Structure 1
Amino acid sequence: MTRRGVFGIAAGLAASTMLPASTVAGTTDANIGATPMQGETRMSSGYVKTADGTEIYFKDWGPKDAQPIHFHHGWPLSADDWDAQLLFFLAHGYRVVAHDRRGHGRSSQVDTGNTIDRYAADASAVVEHLDLRNVVHIGHSTGGGEVARYVARYGQPQGRVAKAVLVSAIPPLMLKTPNNPEGTPLSVFDGFRAALAANRAQFYLDVASGPFYGFNRPGAKVSQGIIQNWWRQGMMGGAIAQYEGIKAFSETDQTDDLKAITVPTLVLQGDDDQVVPYKDAAVLQAKLIKNSTLKIYPGFPHGMLTTHADVINPDLLAFVKG
């Protein structure tokens, strides 16, 4: 099994996902929002220092008194991967927060704590620093695992979380084990580590230009901008954190996290996801989470939040508002 065979998605960037000049003047398209932003908007970004001294970068945009939506990115990316969603929800009047995972993006390039446990604790540090309440947490891929553990161990016990969304997320377990025979063999993840260590820049280019967005599918509309942006985000982070992150996202069993979640949870995934097979991810998530809603998108890839933002964003909004 090659890395191209394990990753995958299926479409070019829809024209409606671009930000037109008319949006600045107050007219928005289906992807950015149905109404212009109302009232004064507070734009900010900054860092929070965690208990072990790691500095976690975050963006915090929108009205301070609006309901917050906190976005958790996938491996090996950054908060920038949520651009289409941040602009969309900001235009709809929400407060939007997104942070760079430790070792990723603009956060400290630490060589410790690269585990799902620590990722969730770091997310909690951001939430507590900003004193966010009634939060909707949305996580993609590894960020979905981060959300599941955060909600189960921090958000629900603290009474800070309202809803959760898992998009193409890694739980309950990616690795093939005796108890998870349909999982991905360890040799595949060893291959990822070997490719990262040998030539991280080329490995990330191969992932972005091939399977992550389904650009390896016949007839796919390839976007060089999307490819370069994925590569840019990956190369911003630290190699050690991303290397160790492979173990975190592939070998962490989050079955108990899913069983512990009681808040309304939306589970989304494309059936052409070549990164995280949907039958072992979204389908199982929906079975294990008590109060869940499952939606599978025919032909959509792992990176569907980017390639199909015009479809996914309205579905996210309907769930948040519902």
Structure 2
Amino acid sequence: MTAEQPGHGYVTTEDSTRIFYKDWGPRDAQPIVFHHGWPLSGDDWDNQMLFFLAKGYRVIAHDRRGHGRSEQVSGGHDMDHYASDVASLVRQLDLRNAIHIGHSTGGGEATRYVARHGKGRVAKLVLIGAVPPLMLKTPNNPEGLPIEALDGYREALAANRAQLYHDIANGPFYGFNRPGATPSAAVSHNWWRQGMMGAANAHYLGVKAFSETDFTEDLKMIDVPALVLHGDDDQVVPLAISAPRSAQLLKNSTLKIYKGFPHGMATTHADVINQDILSFITK
């Protein structure tokens, strides 16, 4: 691995995909690896990276394949490849005793990475508004989202991706559609900007990856301490089908539910979320 300049660079995965990453802080400090949500990029973690950098940690955030500044490839837009890509990043940066923090789709990616590739390299796991165990409605998951709702995402993306991303950012993602909310045009635009940097094909296929992947067995395999955070007003990943079930499946978990917090609470309530994560990783 050769960084293009200090603080960022690219790693090449097992199938020769180039993945962009940011890597800030002392190389001998404990690393924190951030896994972003759909259809965003490592930029979604700016607040957390600055916060934990100031606390003395080494902070790393990558752009998932087909997202942000990473290569816009045709294939591999599934959780197995996402996790394998993270494993390539971790190996090439030689990260050990790492804390992995995943939001939404990134929570699924982090879960699969820690379960399948993280043995001996991971200290703790944090899931924020994360998609595990399973979002899709199935006979064994009757409270999940119906496939028609997910097909709606795909249809809207194919028809007018820019409009879909505008609507998500200004509506359910941050709870800006709720009565009494104070929308931020800058926050919504930054979400839209990140989404439009990525590849439409990756985002289209990513809907299946985040909604139809069953993480039940992955969660059962994880034995490192895990913190599971979720807002009870999450309109994207409903609380009832996610965090409490993940916390039950994990061997060593702490569950915290925030009243009224939206899906994008790591942005809208960064001061609260950052402190709770800091308390967890330092205890």
Contact map agreement 1:43 1:62 (CA 8 A) in 2: no
Q: Classify the secondary structure of the residue corresponding to 2:76.
A: coil
Aligned residue among 36, 39, 62 for 1:73: 36
Question: What pairs with 1:46-85 in structure 2 (closer than 5 Å)?
Answer: 46-85=9-48
When normalised by structure 2's length, the TM-score is: 0.98
AA at the equivalent of 1:64? R
Deviation at residue 279 of structure 1 after TM alignment: 1.6
| Structure 1 unaligned residues grouped into runs of 5+ | 1-41
Aligned residue among 267, 270, 274 for 2:231: 270
When normalised by structure 1's length, the TM-score is: 0.86
Question: What pairs with 1:125-164 in structure 2 (closer than 5 Å)?
Answer: 125-156=88-119, 159-164=120-125
AA at the equivalent of 1:81? D
Deviation at residue 51 of structure 1 after TM alignment: 1.4
Partner of 1:224: 185
Higher relative contact order, structure no. (Cα contacts within 8 Å, ≥ 6 residues apart) = 1
AA at the equivalent of 1:222? P
Whole-angstrom CA distance in 2 between matches of 1:111 and 1:261: 31
Question: What pairs with 1:169-248 in structure 2 (closer than 5 Å)?
Answer: 169-248=130-209
| Identical positions, percent | 69
Whole-angstrom CA distance in 1 between matches of 2:26 and 2:181: 39
Partner of 1:287: 248
CA RMSD in angstroms comes to 0.8
AA at the equivalent of 1:262? D
- Runs of 4+ more than 3 Å apart: none
Contact map agreement 1:143 1:169 (CA 8 A) in 2: yes
Contact map agreement 1:102 1:114 (CA 8 A) in 2: yes
Contact map agreement 1:208 1:231 (CA 8 A) in 2: yes
- Give the number of the structure whose alpha-carbon radius of gyration is greater: 1
Whole-angstrom CA distance in 2 between matches of 1:207 and 1:71: 22
Q: Classify the secondary structure of the residue corresponding to 1:218.
A: coil
| Structure 2 unaligned residues grouped into runs of 5+ | none
AA at the equivalent of 2:128? V
**Structure 1 residue 105 corresponds to structure 2 residue 102:** no
Whole-angstrom CA distance in 1 between matches of 2:6 and 2:254: 33
